[in-house]
């Protein structure tokens, strides 16, 4: 039988989506890197969404650091040396003249080695509004004490008039308050290693601030310093630190961490932390108060140039301390981690997005019952330094080394009029390609000009077989208007279409692609 549709109610919603999926070509799964230049737009597919990546020119910012942050749907980019930009309505970055709490240029001469010097500076930025409507800006940064020749991680905070973030000729001069600095101060230039200073921050619902302090390379093996290290309770290094909103006291939440990449507090209050291993052994950890995550006594990674990590007496086990929720071997070089919120990607709502430097991809992580059940890498072809999600759900990627900011949203494809017209037919018929008769009815591709009851192997009714001839627009119109009158004995139900809808169906079938 030639079953042609179900009900006009399917003219919208999922039926249209299904027809569009059948008609549109499959997109690549990686953006076109030729378009990964300022002004370029690439469209590519993730597992559940077509994505559009828009590349926005950013100022050159050599070194390792900086941050991107969202305040509602406003997006701000902070360079390693403290130069701030805002993303305007025109899609371009504009400078914001704002005095920073420290001068990175003054600190750099302390470190003659470029790999260390280029890691000095600002590490993370968090923006939120206070009850009065002012903007609270919180910055983390490496701080070189020039008088004592030592280095530490510091956090400063200021309340800003929103107008200060709109830019202007005269720089705004916030009243910065230093609310935290790691202890003890590590002698510079050695053994301090600013590349592993950390600095990722996140606020908890009660207003307490979490700060991820790196081990500064003091791992008890390659670099040693008495009384300092991730396992030493008297130092802040290799720890997640909570700064109490009421008292300002710094409290250790967890220990045994190495080189921080990202930190996020989810809508349900869970604390997730991403950190670099040595060679392999990158980790995603669920932070629990008082937990010890093992570094440098245990890791799934190895020392550079070796196949083991010497301080680990049970290589490959990681059983004496709190286990990571996920570990990547080989390393993907984890960076920032954020939670998907907003309306842009409803199917991803609540998932984590993890950036990678070496892997040059976003990893969408779905976590259920304390374990990662989906790890979808979404290649971008760019080293990812930091991430932010706007209130509406757009994803912003700060590239490492490349002077670009990337905006990722859903690729909006205009509805194909042919797909809309054929939506009533989509529950029972394929509408393109060689769909054959895998659904309730035969494919509609190439139906005009095809013999009636002419798809080989399909079990047509005797009534339709007796009609004979080929399908023309006039015969198809007659069939749709009165299936039983056109082919007595057919099981095709009457289709309640308006004259305009009937014209649209006939016109769409006339343009449908023929079967292969």
CATH number at residue 432: 1.10.760.10
151 vs 187: CA distance, rounded Å: 6
At 195 the pLDDT is: 82
Please report whether residue 155 resides in a domain: no
Contact 143, 194 (CB under 8 A): no
| 13 φ, ψ (degrees, to nearest 5) | 75, -140
Please report whether residue 29 resides in a domain: no
218 vs 203: CA distance, rounded Å: 27
Q: Please report, in tens digits, the pLDDT of each residue of the chain (516 residues total).
A: 333 333 333 333 434 444 444 444 445 566 765 455 677 788 888 989 999 999 999 998 888 899 999 999 999 999 999 999 999 988 999 999 999 999 999 999 888 888 788 889 999 999 999 988 999 999 999 999 888 889 999 999 999 999 899 876 677 889 999 999 999 999 987 777 888 999 999 999 999 999 999 999 999 888 889 999 999 999 999 999 999 999 999 999 999 999 888 999 999 999 999 999 888 889 999 999 999 999 999 999 888 878 888 888 888 888 899 999 999 999 999 999 999 999 999 999 999 999 999 999 999 999 999 999 999 999 998 999 999 999 999 999 999 878 899 999 998 755 556 666 676 676 677 666 554 444 567 777 778 888 988 887 777 888 888 888 888 888 888 888 888 888 888 877 777 778 777 888 888 777 644 433
Please report whether residue 421 resides in a domain: yes
Please report whether residue 442 resides in a domain: yes
42 vs 98: CA distance, rounded Å: 33
Please report whether residue 468 resides in a domain: yes
At 414 the pLDDT is: 55
| 299 φ, ψ (degrees, to nearest 5) | -165, 155
Closest of 428, 498, 292 to residue 1, by C-alpha:
428
Angle CA 175–178–179, to nearest 5: 120
At 36 the pLDDT is: 56
Cross-strand pairs, 75: 70
Domain span at residue 20 reads 8-24+416-511
**Distances, alpha carbon 47 to alpha carbons 141, 364, 376, 406, 415, in Å:** 37, 10, 8, 20, 20
Give the chain's end-to-end CA distance (angstroms, integer): 22
The two structure tokens encoding residue 493? 């139900």
Tally the C-alpha atoms within 13 A of residue 284's C-alpha that lie toward its C-beta: 28
Q: What is the pTM of this model?
A: 0.77
At 410 the pLDDT is: 94
205 vs 208: CA distance, rounded Å: 7
Contact 353, 337 (CB under 8 A): yes
HEC secondary structure over 200-246: EEEECCCCCEEEEECCCCCCCCCCCCCCCCCCCCCCCCCEEEEECCC
Number of domains in the chain: 1
Please report whether residue 462 resides in a domain: yes
Please report whether residue 429 resides in a domain: yes
The two structure tokens encoding residue 393? 């759900």
Please report whether residue 496 resides in a domain: yes
């Amino acid at each position: 039988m030639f079953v042609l549709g179900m009900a006009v109610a399917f003219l919208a919603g999922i039926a249209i989506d299904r027809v569009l999926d059948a008609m549109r070509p499959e997109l690549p799964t990686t953006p076109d890197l030729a378009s990964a230049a300022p002004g370029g737009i690439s469209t590519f597919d993730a597992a559940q969404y077509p994505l559009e990546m828009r590349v926005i020119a950013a100022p050159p910012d050599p070194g390792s650091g900086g941050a991107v942050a969202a305040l509602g749907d406003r997006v701000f980019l902070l360079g390693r040396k403290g130069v701030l930009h805002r993303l305007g309505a025109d899609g371009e970055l504009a400078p914001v003249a704002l005095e920073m709490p420290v001068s990175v240029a003054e600190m750099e001469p302390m470190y003659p080695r470029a790999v260390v010097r280029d890691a000095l500076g600002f590490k993370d930025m968090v923006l939120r509004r206070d009850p009065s409507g002012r903007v609270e800006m919180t910055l983390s940064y490496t701080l070189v004490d020039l008088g004592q020749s030592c280095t530490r991680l510091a956090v400063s905070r200021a309340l800003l008039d929103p107008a200060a973030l709109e830019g202007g000729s005269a720089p705004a001069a916030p009243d910065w308050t230093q609310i935290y600095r790691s202890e003890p101060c590590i002698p510079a230039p050695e053994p301090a290693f600013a590349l592993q200073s950390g600095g990722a921050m996140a606020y908890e619902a009660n207003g307490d601030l979490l700060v991820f302090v790196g081990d500064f390379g003091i791992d008890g093996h390659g670099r040693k310093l008495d009384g300092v290290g991730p396992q030493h309770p008297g130092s802040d290094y290799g720890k997640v630190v909570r700064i109490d909103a009421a008292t300002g006291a710094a409290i250790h939440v967890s220990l045994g961490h190495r080189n921080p990449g990202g930190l996020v507090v989810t809508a349900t209050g869970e604390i997730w932390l991403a950190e670099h291993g040595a060679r392999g052994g990158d980790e995603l950890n669920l932070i629990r108060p008082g937990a010890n995550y093992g570094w440098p006594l245990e890791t799934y990674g190895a020392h550079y140039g070796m196949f083991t990590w010497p301080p680990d007496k049970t290589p490959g086990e990681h059983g004496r301390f709190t286990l990571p929720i996920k570990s990547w071997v080989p390393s993907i070089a984890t960076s920032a981690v954020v939670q998907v919120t907003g309306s842009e990607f409803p199917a991803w709502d609540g998932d984590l997005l993890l950036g990678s430097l070496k892997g040059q991809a976003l990893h969408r992580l779905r976590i259920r019952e304390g374990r990662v059940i989906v790890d979808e890498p979404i290649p971008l072809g760019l080293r990812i330094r930091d991430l932010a999600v706007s209130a509406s759900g757009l994803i912003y990627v700060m590239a490492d080394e490349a002077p670009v900011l990337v905006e990722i949203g859903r690729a909006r494809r205009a509805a194909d009029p042919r797909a809309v017209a054929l939506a009533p037919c989509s529950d029972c018929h394929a509408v393109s390609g060689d769909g054959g008769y895998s659904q309730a009815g035969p494919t509609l591709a190439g139906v005009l000009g095809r013999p009636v009851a002419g798809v080989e192997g399909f079990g047509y009714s005797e009534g339709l077989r007796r009609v004979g001839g080929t399908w023309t627009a006039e015969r198809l119109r007659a069939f749709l208007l009165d299936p039983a009158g056109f082919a007595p004995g057919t099981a095709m139900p009457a289709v309640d279409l308006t004259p305009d809808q009937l014209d649209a169906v006939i016109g769409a079938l006339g343009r449908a692609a023929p079967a292969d």
